[in-house]
Amino acid sequence: MPLVGKAYSATGAAWQAGPGRVYDRLAEVLVDLSPVPLRDRRVLDVGAGTGAASRAIRRVGGRPIACDVAVGMLAVDRRRRPPAIAADVRRLPVASRSCGALVAAFSFNHVPDPHRALAEAARVVVPGGAVLASSYATDDDHPAKAAVDRAAREAGWVPEPWVDELRQRAMPKLATPAAAVAAAKRAGLRAEASVIEAEFPDLQAADLLAWRLGMAAVAPFVASLSDEGRRRLSARALDLIGEPEVLVRRMVVLRARL
Ligand SMILES: C[S@@+](CC[C@H](N)C(=O)[O-])C[C@H]1O[C@@H](n2cnc3c(N)ncnc32)[C@H](O)[C@@H]1O
């Protein structure tokens, strides 16, 4: 398993308890942008994590199958989740033309060669089906990110090497509509892409803190702290966050119809 998969596996339930609130809504926005109706289609949710897109697919009447490299993410809430496959998005153990659609919510931007993941998507989806993928836009930022990172560093957190590698070698490849369309083209897919904004006016400072502390880069470190250490880290981060501005996520949404 790649290091990023190990970190997500160790994150598991912490993801759903914090980032889950943000990502569940982003998955609904993504699925609603499908270029074909997903009702009654078998839809592969790749990089499924704790099931944000699977739930969104079910909500519109689709039949999800989850796939992720991190077994610890697939294991969360397993009894209520769809069937799952432990696999890399670039090597899907799935027959060609066997899915009605494929959704990748913030997973293709975790590999340095997203054209390979997109080529796999094109292979497994039937003609008339769809590929939908979201990734972080270059200007997707919020002051809570730097605030929590700073508090975590002060508490002794040292980011693992995969975090920088992800930010420098993988994420930029899908961080603009032009880059995403180019990666799709390289995979033989004719796609369109645009930046979509989603606002979270209901999230308070404590919710923003939970969002950041549940991210895979830092969640295993947070889990290693004592109760007192976690309390001190949270208090310091809340102090740095202060009165937060409304969270607005900006994602690149790539859509292709086969
Ligand atoms: C940012 S999380 C998103 C999870 C979920 N789709 C959501 O929107 O909440 C990224 C997910 O992609 C998975 N992932 C990263 N690299 C992967 C790879 N090469 N193959 C399969 N899954 C991968 C991670 O394990 C993690 O669950």
Ligand 1 pocket mutation, candidates 25, 103, 110, 249, criterion most atoms within 8 A of CB: 110
The residue written with tokens 């796609």 in the block is 191
Q: What's the rounded Cα separation, in Å, for the pair 75 and 88?
A: 16
| Structure confidence at residue 4 (pLDDT) | 87
**Which ligand 1 atom lies nearest to the CA of residue 70?**
25
Q: What is the pLDDT of residues 125-180, one digit of tens each?
A: 999 999 999 999 999 999 999 999 999 999 999 999 999 999 999 999 999 999 99
Closest to 22 in 3D by CA, of 206, 213, 211, 204: 211
In the reported structure, the alpha carbon of residue 255 is separated from the centroid of ligand 1 by a whole-number distance in angstroms of 18
| Structure confidence at residue 207 (pLDDT) | 97
- Work out the number of other CB atoms within 10 angstroms of the CB of residue 153: 12
Architecture of domain 3-140+165-201+246-257: 3-Layer(aba) Sandwich (3.40)
**pLDDT band for position 111 (50/70/90)?**
very high
Q: What's the mean per-residue pLDDT of the chain? A: 97
Q: What's the rounded Cα separation, in Å, for the pair 27 and 255?
A: 14
In the reported structure, the alpha carbon of residue 239 is separated from the centroid of ligand 1 by a whole-number distance in angstroms of 31
In the predicted structure, residue 1 carries a pLDDT above the cut 90: no
Any idea where the domains of the chain sit in the sequence? 3-140+165-201+246-257
**Which ligand 1 atom lies nearest to the CA of residue 107?**
12
| Structure confidence at residue 23 (pLDDT) | 98
